[in-house]
Amino acid sequence: MPKSIDAATLKGWIRDGGELAILDAREDGEFGRSHLFWAVPCGLSKMEMRARSLLPRRDVRVVCVDGGEGYAGRLADYLAGMGCTDVSVLAGGTPGWIAAGYTAFSGVNVPSKAFGEWVEHHYGTPSVDPAELKAMMDSGTDMVVLDSRPMDEFHRMTIPTAVNVPGGELVYRIGEFVTRPDTTIVVNCAGRTRSILGAESLRSAGVPNKVVALRNGTMGWELAGFTCDRGRSDRYPERLPAGSEQAFTRADRFARKNGVRFITRAELDRLEGHRTTYLLDVRDPAEFAAGHLLGSRSAPGGQLVQATDQWVAVRGARIVLVDDTGVRARMTGGWLRELGGWEVYVLTDGLEGRLEQGGAVPEVPEAEAVRVPHVAPAELAALAAEGAAQVVDLARSIDFRDGHVPGALWGIRTRLARLADRLTGDRQIVVAAPVEAQARLAAAELQGFAKAPVKILAGGTKAWAAAGFPLAADRRDPADEDCADFYLRPYDRNSGVEEAMREYLSWEIDLVHEVAKDGDAPFGAWA
């Protein structure tokens, strides 16, 4: 049985410099309400898919936390069964942490968000407010607006005239957009921190043009009474960008200034093994799928810096970054060093020799052991037309809202028993999930209480849509208060959107003060 530790013990572990992972067993939406600064979400519904990648080394020190519900004990038991040998549970969970006088944080990706605010304070990153940017547009100012978010967020809403260039690509691709010294570069995101990091990346790399962040991003733009574009897909050209040699020189200088190390694959193999190591490919996911180093994971550079806890759980670990030309790995590595807490390397020959194709498939032996039949989309359509099938969809709540098999029920794995009274014995159950391992595990859960046969939709909802079958969409299903699996952004909400935007922006600005109160963020401390 995992041992229990108190808050003071955990606080000491955070500060002792040893390797440590703090995993929160709640779902992302629950996690976002209140959690420890360095806690990483590993909700029970996805623990089999996440735990192995978050914990490459099984003897690392791990502490499981929750909100006092008892989920942490379940996660700890799973980790012990997976082979982890040093697992503890925080007594009292996050409420116990607060009761001991320590600071808890709301929101998600908090260390990265707080780091962005620190960067603005530390470097004096200049910014313009929405009214200033609109005036620049109206006056015909020589400028480009670059949106530093992933394409899905850009597609949802963006500033007029903006082009999608995610943060990790900015220094690499700026030569495609700026050829004149008088062109002003404006970087935006949804709120604050990704635009700050994007603008400061260009400034710190030595791009000579005037570079500014759009203060408060698309939220600030709409709060100022301006209208965002929706549904656009304008993106950087997918080729070796103009000025790539100059970009390398700039990125190399930035990385070396921040203490990034450089290593070959042969040298990496010879490094002392008793150390958690993450091998992360910082290129665009499509480039990763076209060919990547065996054992690496796709972690686009801008997102890695801005949402580090999606890929890295262990403080004090070794992070090894891979790309093709060296620019994106160097820029990402430099920022990770400033964020602090890891030994960071760039792999100089990571894409030489034999490569693996396709997206990364998580290792989930528990799911592989589940035997459950599949149905093709056409077969499901025929069953649905006869009223003989009921679909249970495990997509993120925000994605389920955007599109699902008509009539599907949304659910969270490990909590599917809540659907029991809506599942009848006269219709077979078909599970749809973004990842088959998730569907298999859910099928086993459903088989434990459902009266009808359970099958899996081959390829999930994506395959259903690709086969030409219709999708249903409902922004209010599930309701905001039921989205335990996803921390809703202000513009995802169905009511109080403007108030939520203002609260979010105030939250980001105040993070610097909350982090100072907590005292455990080593931003810039490597120097």
Concatenated DSSP letters for 223-249? Answer: HTT---B-S---B--SSSPTTHHHHHH
Q: How far apart are CA 453 and CA 85, in angstroms?
A: 38
Most confident of 353-357, 358-362, 478-482: 478-482
- 482: Cβ–Cβ under 8 A, 6 or more apart, which residues? 397
Given a cut of 70, is residue 527 above it in pLDDT? no
Question: Parallel, antiparallel, or unpaired for β 184-188 and 211-214?
Answer: parallel
- 438: Cβ–Cβ under 8 A, 6 or more apart, which residues? 46, 49, 367, 394, 413
Question: What is the total residue count of the chain?
Answer: 527
Has domain 365-482 been given CATH number 3.40.250.10?
yes
Given a cut of 90, is residue 363 above it in pLDDT? no
Q: Residue 359 — very low, low, confident or very high, per pLDDT cuts 50/70/90? A: confident
Residue 99: CB atoms within 10 Å: 10
- 165: Cβ–Cβ under 8 A, 6 or more apart, which residues? 146, 147, 148, 173, 177, 235, 236
Topology match between the domains 250-347 and 365-482: yes
In the block, residue with structure tokens 């963020």: 521
Would you state the pLDDT for residue 235? 97
- In this prediction, residues 390-408 reach a mean pLDDT of 97
**What is the CATH T-level fold of the domain 114-242, as seen in this structure?**
Oxidized Rhodanese; domain 1 (3.40.250)
Buried b (16+ CB within 10 A) or exposed e, 420-436: eeebeeebbbbbbbebb
pLDDT digits (tens, 9 = 90+) for 257-294: 999 999 999 999 888 777 999 999 999 999 999 999 99
Given a cut of 90, is residue 255 above it in pLDDT? yes
Q: How far is CA 472 from CA 406, 459, 463, 492, in A?
A: 5, 18, 15, 18
Q: How far apart are CA 377 and CA 383, in angstroms?
A: 10
Percentage of the residues of the chain whose pLDDT score is greater than 70? 100
**What value does the mean pLDDT of the chain take?**
96
- In this prediction, residues 213-234 reach a mean pLDDT of 97
Would you state the pLDDT for residue 498? 95
- Tokens in use for 417? 């028993």
Q: How far apart are CA 46 and CA 437, in angstroms?
A: 10
- Tokens in use for 418? 């809540």
Closest Cα to residue 471, out of 463, 459, 481, 483? 463
- In this prediction, residues 31-53 reach a mean pLDDT of 97
Closest Cα to residue 28, out of 77, 1, 67? 67
Q: Does residue 203 or residue 2 have the better pLDDT?
A: 203
Given a cut of 80, is residue 226 above it in pLDDT? yes
Q: How far apart are CA 57 and CA 55, in angstroms?
A: 5
Contact 211, 126 (CB under 8 A): yes
Q: Which amino acid is at 25?
A: A
What secondary structure does DSSP assign to 293-340, as a single string?
-TT-EE--HHHHHHTGGGT--EET-EEEEE-SSSHHHHHHHHHHHHH-
- Tokens in use for 2? 């995992």
Weakest mean pLDDT among 30-44, 260-274, 398-412, 437-451: 260-274
List the chain domain ranges. Answer: 3-108, 114-242, 250-347, 365-482
- In this prediction, residues 486-509 reach a mean pLDDT of 95
- In this prediction, residues 347-355 reach a mean pLDDT of 91
Q: Residue 240 — very low, low, confident or very high, per pLDDT cuts 50/70/90? A: very high
Question: Parallel, antiparallel, or unpaired for β 314-315 and 20-24?
Answer: antiparallel
Q: Which CATH number fits domain 3-108: 3.40.250.10, 1.25.40.10, 3.40.50.720, 3.30.2010.10?
A: 3.40.250.10
- Phi and psi for 345 in degrees, rounded to 5? -120, 150
- Phi and psi for 316 in degrees, rounded to 5? 80, 5
Would you state the pLDDT for residue 160? 98
Percentage of the residues of the chain whose pLDDT score is greater than 90? 95
Class of domain 250-347: alpha beta
Given a cut of 80, is residue 19 above it in pLDDT? yes
pLDDT digits (tens, 9 = 90+) for 446-486: 999 999 999 999 999 999 999 999 999 999 999 999 999 99
Q: H/E element holding 8? A: helix 7-15
pLDDT digits (tens, 9 = 90+) for 119-176: 999 999 999 999 999 999 999 999 999 999 999 999 999 999 999 999 999 999 999 9
Torsion-angle region of 324 (φ positive above 0: left; ψ -120 to 50: alpha; else: beta): alpha
Q: Residue 526 — very low, low, confident or very high, per pLDDT cuts 50/70/90? A: low
Q: Residue 336 — very low, low, confident or very high, per pLDDT cuts 50/70/90? A: very high
Instruction: List strands edge to edge, sheet with 277-281.
Output: 261-263, 343-347, 318-322, 277-281, 297-298
Q: How far apart are CA 213 and CA 197, in angstroms?
A: 9
- Phi and psi for 317 in degrees, rounded to 5? -80, 175
- In this prediction, residues 434-453 reach a mean pLDDT of 96
Would you state the pLDDT for residue 309? 95
- Tokens in use for 215? 């203060």
Would you state the pLDDT for residue 1? 74
Q: How far apart are CA 288 and CA 311, in angstroms?
A: 15
Contact 25, 65 (CB under 8 A): yes
